[in-house]
Structures are given as C-alpha cells and as structure tokens.
C-alpha cells in the first residue's frame, strides 16, 4: 500500500507534525482521462443558451431597399439581410438542449484520485487541526488570513471538511473565510477534479481525513 506524508498545521499556521495518508496502490496517471473528465465537466456546466436572430427573425420592414435596376447598385431585396446593419446573423448560435456529456463513474473517481495524489506529492495538500474553540471563538477574518500567510501564499486555496454539522466553532471558521479572495469551502464528499485543478493548495480538516482516505482507496 502506497503512502504519502502530509504536513499538519494548527489554526495559527504553525507546523505541528506530519501524518501519513494511505492512498492504496500506486498507479500511473492517465493525463488523457483527466483531460476528458475536465472537458466534460466544463461542457456540462454550460447553459447552452446563446441565441442570435436569423434573417427571418430580424425586425425590419420587408420593403425593397431600392429598385431592382437602373441605380448601378447591386440587387437587394430586404433590409434584414445579413449584409445590412441590424440584419440577421448567418450560422449564428442557437439554444441547445440535452447536451449533457455522460462521465463514467469509475473514470471520474480515477481522475479525482489522481489529482489528489498529485497534490499530495507536490506538498500542496496539508492538514489542519480542528481546535476551533481556541482560535475561532467568533468569526475573525484576520485570524484566517494569518493562517494562510503562515502556511504559504498561493493563487487559490480550497478548504475541505467532513460532515458540516451545527458546530458553532466550525461555522465561525467558515464565516471567517467569506471576505478572503480565492478561498473556497466545501465538503469532502462534494470535491471534484476541477476544484482540485484550479486550487493550488488544498487544506483538509482533521474531521475529513477518513473520508479523504476512503476516496483515495476507492
């Protein structure tokens, strides 16, 4: 069974140790599978609602712009033609429906697992102690900012937690993140490959380590 070491920090940003996370068998990363999964995810997120008016839908008079012959100009029949300003659009986009791309469940799990393992090997997946009552007795953005500055600056960060209950301390921690740019907070069960890819550093709370190992072992 393959294992990777992840650093653990308290909520002040001080390193307090390392934890080994078991991620099952070592497998070669399939970059094409990951790309197909991300492309399918992004396509499924599109609304496909872009719409343009064709020649028959443009709001114009059907009067002929000028007489057919004798003017020296090219023949024209309708002000709503594409060559006129405000005319119809040739081959423009139309709303599309039922464009969902099916993602195989095993492929999705393999892609997410591969991306998490890659973050772990880079050292960009770290664990956070969940002693919220000591560090976050109330919502405080300054304390959350201090945590990220101590662990290391990066473009985008993601916080993963286990089951989000009604714990007031956890809620205070979540509220402390609201005004920080490029920080997202989500449950471990809702994690997806796109979030892992765009967030350069992943913080996993102690309460979510068991779920994380379950995802990695399949």
| In a domain? residue 97 | no
The bridge status of strand 15-24 relative to strand 2-9 is: antiparallel
135 and 210 in a single domain? The answer is yes
113 and 167 in a single domain? The answer is yes
| pLDDT tens track for 41-54 | 999 998 889 999 99
80 and 155 in a single domain? The answer is no
The C-alpha atoms of residue 38 and residue 23 are separated, in whole angstroms, by 22
Nearest CA among 90, 72, 71, 95 for reference residue 80 = 90
58 and 144 in a single domain? The answer is no
| In a domain? residue 122 | yes
| pLDDT tens track for 122-149 | 888 888 888 888 888 888 888 888 888 8
> Quick check: 168 pLDDT over 80?
no
CA angle 27–31–32, rounded 5-degree value: 120
SS3 181: coil
Query: Which residue, chain included where needed, has tokens 């591969």?
Result: 114
6 and 59 in a single domain? The answer is no
> Quick check: 68 pLDDT over 90?
yes
Domain holding 81, by residue range, is 52-92
The C-alpha atoms of residue 132 and residue 170 are separated, in whole angstroms, by 6
CB 119 within 8 A of CB 125: yes
| In a domain? residue 26 | yes
Q: Which residues pair with 36 in a beta bridge?
A: none
Number of structural domains, the chain? Answer: 2
């Amino acid at each position: 069974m393959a294992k990777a070491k992840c650093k653990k920090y308290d909520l002040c940003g001080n390193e307090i140790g390392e934890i080994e996370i078991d991620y099952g068998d070592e497998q070669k990363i399939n970059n094409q599978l990951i790309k197909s999964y991300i492309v399918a995810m992004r396509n499924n997120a599109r609304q496909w609602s872009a719409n343009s008016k064709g020649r028959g839908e443009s709001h114009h008079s059907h009067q002929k712009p000028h007489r057919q012959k004798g003017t020296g100009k090219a023949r024209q029949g309708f002000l709503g033609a594409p060559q006129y300003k405000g005319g119809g659009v040739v081959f423009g986009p139309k709303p599309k429906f039922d464009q969902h791309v099916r993602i195989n469940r095993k492929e999705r799990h393999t892609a997410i697992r591969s991306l998490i393992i890659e973050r772990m090997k880079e050292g960009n997946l770290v664990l956070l102690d969940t002693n919220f009552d000591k560090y976050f007795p109330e919502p405080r953005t300054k304390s959350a900012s201090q945590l990220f500055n101590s662990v290391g600056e990066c473009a985008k960060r993601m916080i993963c937690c286990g089951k989000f209950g009604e714990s007031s301390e956890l809620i205070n921690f979540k509220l402390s993140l609201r005004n920080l740019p490029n920080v997202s907070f989500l449950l471990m069960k809702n994690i997806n490959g796109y979030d892992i890819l765009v967030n350069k550093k992943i913080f996993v709370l102690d309460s979510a380590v068991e779920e994380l190992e379950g995802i990695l072992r399949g």
